[in-house]
Structure formats: structure tokens, C-alpha cells
Amino acid sequence: MSEDEIDIDTDDLARRMDGAIASLRTEFASLRTGRASASMLDPVQVDAYGSMTPINQVGTVNVPEPRMVTINVWDKSLVGKVEKAIRESGLGINPQLNGTIIMLPIPELNEERRRELTKVAAQYAEHARVAIRNVRRDGMDQIKKAKAAGMSEDDVKLWEAEVQEITDAHIAKVDSALETKQGEIMQV
């Protein structure tokens, strides 16, 4: 078998690992840090027009000041449903109505809640690490198949080192993102 036929798609492995990191960043964005962020409402769904709809599709979400998020609901009949969805979302935010505008004051986090959030962030990071290691395992399986198909020992070692290098780089990104997020959460 010629060496041209044996190729491990490291770009695909890196792309899949990047996907795990992107997912981690999305999960981190939903963690409340005591600072207002429009993305903290991303997981909240509203029962609008007979189907579950993200809040940003029933109104305009703004962050006018560091500790306030506002939602300008476009349809007056949905204001109550949006308010109910926020109350039941588990975000720990108490919405205040002002006509079609719902104001969400972001309270200060206490020390105990900050510690809980850092643990949640660490769990999210561990899930990302596991996803990256699963992609690494897929890459190593590809290498084993190529070895069985006639790849030389030197090439096997080269590819294994490259896959491990990509994995290490992505794990380092996860660790860095976690450290940043935990610092952000613990900042008073």
C-alpha cells in the first residue's frame, strides 16, 4: 500500500475538538457571574404561539448597565409568558415589569453561590476535556487501522505524536478558559 493512500485527517480531529471548546464557551456564557450578559438568557425558552421559542426571538434583549438586562417584548400578549419563563428558568433573577419592557436586575453573588458556580464551571470543563479525549481516541483508532493496512512504525509514531499534540493544545485551551471563568466568578 502506498503512503499516499494512508492519511489521518488531523484537520477533522482539530475541528471536532474546537467544537467541544465552542460548546464549553457557550455553557460558560450561561453561568451568571454577577455581571449582566444577554447570553445568560440563551437557555430560557418561552411558550410562544404554541411552541417553545428562545427569548431573543420574542423581544429585544439589551444590557443597558452592568447589573441590568432588559427585554423589550414585541407582542404585549407574551409579556406574562416571558416573565413566567424567566422566573421558572432557575437563573435566580426576579423580573420587574414596566409595560412591554421586562427589567432583570442582576443581584450580587454571595461567597457560597460563587463557590458553587466555580464547581459548575469545572464540571463543564471536564465534559469538554472528555469530549476532546474521545476525539483523540477516534484519531488513535484511525492510526491503528492504518497500521493494520500497512503503515510503517515510524509513520504510526509520527501520527500518534501529532494527534497527542493537537489534544494537548485543546486541553490547554479548556484549562485556560476555566481559569479565566473561575477568576471572573470569584471577582467581587
- Show the 3-state SS of 51-85: EEEEHHHCEEEEEEECCEEEEEECCHHHHHHHHHH
State yes or no: pLDDT of 5 exceeds 80.
Answer: no
Provide the H-helix boundaries in the chain. 10-29, 79-87, 111-148, 153-186
Stronger pLDDT, 91 or 82, i.e. the higher one:
82
User: What number is the average pLDDT over the span 45-64?
Assistant: 89
Q: Each residue of 115-128: pLDDT tens digit?
A: 888 888 899 999 99
Please give the pLDDT value at position 166: 95
Find the angle CA(146)-CA(13)-CA(19) to the nearest 5 degrees. 160
State yes or no: pLDDT of 2 exceeds 80.
Answer: no
Question: What's the mean per-residue pLDDT of the chain?
Answer: 87
Could you tell me whether strands 45-48 and 51-54 are parallel, antiparallel, or unpaired per DSSP bridges?
antiparallel
CA–CA distance, 162 with 136 (Å, rounded to integer): 10
State yes or no: pLDDT of 107 exceeds 80.
Answer: no
Task: Kindly tell me the number of DSSP H helices and DSSP E strands found in the chain.
Answer: 4, 6
State yes or no: pLDDT of 44 exceeds 70.
Answer: yes
Please give the pLDDT value at position 156: 92
CA–CA distance, 125 with 128 (Å, rounded to integer): 5
Distance of CA 142 to the CA centre of its chain: 28
Domains in the chain, please, with CATH?
Answer: 10-28+110-186 (1.10.132.20), 35-105 (3.30.1360.40)
State yes or no: pLDDT of 33 exceeds 90.
Answer: no
What's the pLDDT band for 15 if we cut at 50, 70, 90? very high
What is the residue whose three cell numbers read 463543564? 124
Please give the pLDDT value at position 6: 60
Q: Which three cell numbers stand for residue 90?
A: 432557575
79 three-class SS: helix
Q: How many residues does the chain have?
A: 188
